[in-house]
Amino acid sequence: MRKFLGLDFWLFIPALTVYTLGISILLSIAPNLFFNQLIYGVAAFIVFFVFSQIDYRIFPGFNKIIYIICVIFLILTYVLGQSTRGSVRWIDVGGFIRLQPSELIKPFLIMFVASFFLKKSQSFPRFIIWTILYFIPLIMVLKQPDLGNAIVYFSFWIVIIFISGFKVWLVPIIICLTVLFIPLFWRFLKDYQKERIVSFLNPQSDPLGIGYNAIQAMVAVGSGGFWGLGLGRGTQSHLLFLPEYHTDFIFASFSEEFGFIGVLLLIFLYCLILTRIIVIGINSQDKFGLLVSGGIFGVLFTQFFINVGMNIGLLPITGITLPLVSYGGSSLLSFAILLGIASNIAKNRKKDDLLTIR
């Protein structure tokens, strides 16, 4: 079966399964949010289907408009956004819908970045101007502050540059310059973000303060054992020891109730999705499809890697969602758009690939 409801089978089914696991754990740990996430899921499917039908090749012709809309959307965050825990990231629409622009513009920024490399001749000065333009929304997101999404923006930007073949030697130079500018970058961070990074090195130095989140997350992951405690039996989330157990630390909640075997299944599904995106990019009929697929891969991999890493103590705590699992409509819609675009690229592939069932 080549297609499922006109969609790419190998992309849609693993993504749907991951979402199903996500709402299952949400029903256990935060049943009051289950219905909202179900509605978000229906909306996400509609968005996924719509973007899977839109020919991705039309987007380069609108790259300037896309960029302007993205920047305006971020500006609206500062004008209309409400401060929540010291961050201004969300816009309330009608009093019952909350949107996060930094999440929703990811797919469109990917297409803006990818469009740059479609012209045959690219000068270095033009690249610098384009880079400055791109870093405007990135810095705006960093100042909200939203360190997690700023890292994601930077990661898919690097991935697209690398696979474009445009002066590949720029990538290590950019990374080295980034390291050199860490002292300047440090000044952009809020005090609590600095404390998170410092506490990552030794969370036990302040177990009831800044190190509390990391310690509780690791306790939750470890307490799941091999088979898990079972749905509804996770103590860390149900007894509210684990902070943000339905968003940033939902992986810890999932690990506690589904155990090691459930985590393996979740990782396997993510690997299926990531592998499929790679295959779609390789078999795309043009360079733009390859670059956009690379950007989508960069977003999904970065968010998955960072979220899991901070839940198990391998990375500093950063406010970043677990794709298709964490509670939130904006994140879910963003990934629906990304995967819908990838599905359309697959539909227009230049040749059959090995991961297609006839």
User: Model-level pTM?
Assistant: 0.89
Residues 6 or more apart whose CB falls under 8 angstroms from that of 194 comprise 186
Residues 213-228: tens digit of each pLDDT: 778 888 888 888 888 8
Residues 6 or more apart whose CB falls under 8 angstroms from that of 330 comprise 90, 98, 99, 100, 101, 103, 104
Residues 99-136: tens digit of each pLDDT: 999 999 999 999 999 999 887 667 778 888 888 899 99
How many angstroms from the chain centroid is the CA of residue 202?
Answer: 27
Judge whether 314 and 179 are in contact, CB under 8 Å: no
Model confidence band, residue 233 (pLDDT cutoffs 50, 70, 90): confident
Helical (H) or strand (E) element with 292: helix 287-311
The DSSP line for 143-163 is TTT-HHHHHHHHHHHHHHHHH
Three-class secondary structure of residue 108 per DSSP? helix
d(CA 57, CA 213): 44
Q: Is the pLDDT of residue 275 over 60?
A: yes
The domain ranges of the chain are 3-347
